[in-house]
Amino acid sequence: MLKHSVYAVAMSMGLLLPAVTQASDAWPNQSIRFIVPYPPGGPTDLMARLIAEPLSKKLGVNVIVENKAGASGNIGSAEVAKSKPNGNTILLAASGNMSVNQTLFKNLQYDPIKDFAPIIQISKFPLVLEVSEKNPITSVQEYIDFSKANPESVTFGSAGNGSPQHLGGELFKKVTGASLQHVPYKGAGPALTDLMGGHITSMFDILGSSMQHIQGGVFRPLAVTTAKRSAQLPNVPTMQESGVDGFDYYAWHGIVAAAGTPEPIIVKYNTALNEIFQDPEFAKKWEGIGSEVVGGTPEQFMQLVLSEADRLGVLVKELNIQLD
């Protein structure tokens, strides 16, 4: 059972102290810190800032975005995990800091399952397998065939070991048997620059960060990694349509609070955020950054975190990746 669901049971039985209920009823009564555990200017930062304004209006208090970057999202995540469970601090959670880092890092300073109360999933970003427009490869099958005919020479760049771009490429290798060499970078930006310059062959990049380069004719998209085509790239086939059966991989984000945050506060957040995502004007902005409009319940988000932790954790162990 989810930790915050325990509160729901207790409330229904009248077991919570009146003071807790009263405090929840009065919330929010001060500004909210919205921690982004990644650098400013990236897709996670953009998502938080798009959400902050309408969430401020819904809740009637300022929602202030703070970037606490470092250690693949671990620094900001640990700060929220250790914060008071009063709803005044929330975290922009991602597949990395919620489902990968617990296997990737030796000494994680937080437990992504036990230390957070899930609020809502906010994004689902397809990855896109792309090559430079100057590259003669025009399809996924050509890409696979060329890699097998030229082992050790086909490379794919990523934002670093254990990043969505890295794991997406490794899953592709596992499913197809393609012969690909991983080239990790310190962030997606340098990898994209080297892809433009022809220093690496390809990249499995998050659609949001590569969209402008695809639209500008710099990169040629071969396929998206989700089971359905992307609304942003309707003419680009899925992996399954390209002959890679059952391939469904995407980057995702959500919002969590510290474990122990009262259930009524979680419900207020979830209700407000679902209303925001159902607004057509906001949904249009959201789709414009390359993500599907998601939403849903805290329980649905936690199920995603758990299932991805299992799937990606196994992959990280198979690859024998471990960071300090």
Q: Which residues contact 108 (CB under 8 A, 6 or more apart)?
A: 74, 101, 102
- Confidence at residue 13, expressed as pLDDT on a 0 to 100 scale: 38
- Confidence at residue 61, expressed as pLDDT on a 0 to 100 scale: 97
Residue range(s) of every CATH 3.40.190.150 domain in the chain:
3-124+252-319
- Confidence at residue 209, expressed as pLDDT on a 0 to 100 scale: 87
Domain 3-124+252-319, CATH class in plain words: alpha beta
CB distance 104 to 315 below 8 Å: no
The rounded distance, in Å, linking the Cα atoms of 248 and 58 is: 34
CB distance 38 to 164 below 8 Å: no
- Confidence at residue 7, expressed as pLDDT on a 0 to 100 scale: 40
> At which residue do the structure tokens 């979830």 appear?
270
Q: Which residues contact 231 (CB under 8 A, 6 or more apart)?
A: 287, 292
CB distance 119 to 301 below 8 Å: yes
Residue range(s) of every CATH 3.40.190.10 domain in the chain:
125-224
pLDDT averaged per 10 residues in sequence order, the chain, 324 residues: 40 46 78 94 89 97 95 94 97 93 91 96 95 97 97 94 92 96 91 96 93 95 95 95 94 97 97 97 91 94 94 88 75
pTM score of the predicted model: 0.86
The rounded distance, in Å, linking the Cα atoms of 30 and 15 is: 27
The rounded distance, in Å, linking the Cα atoms of 78 and 115 is: 9
The rounded distance, in Å, linking the Cα atoms of 261 and 2 is: 12
> Does the domain made of 125-224 have the CATH classification 3.40.190.10?
yes
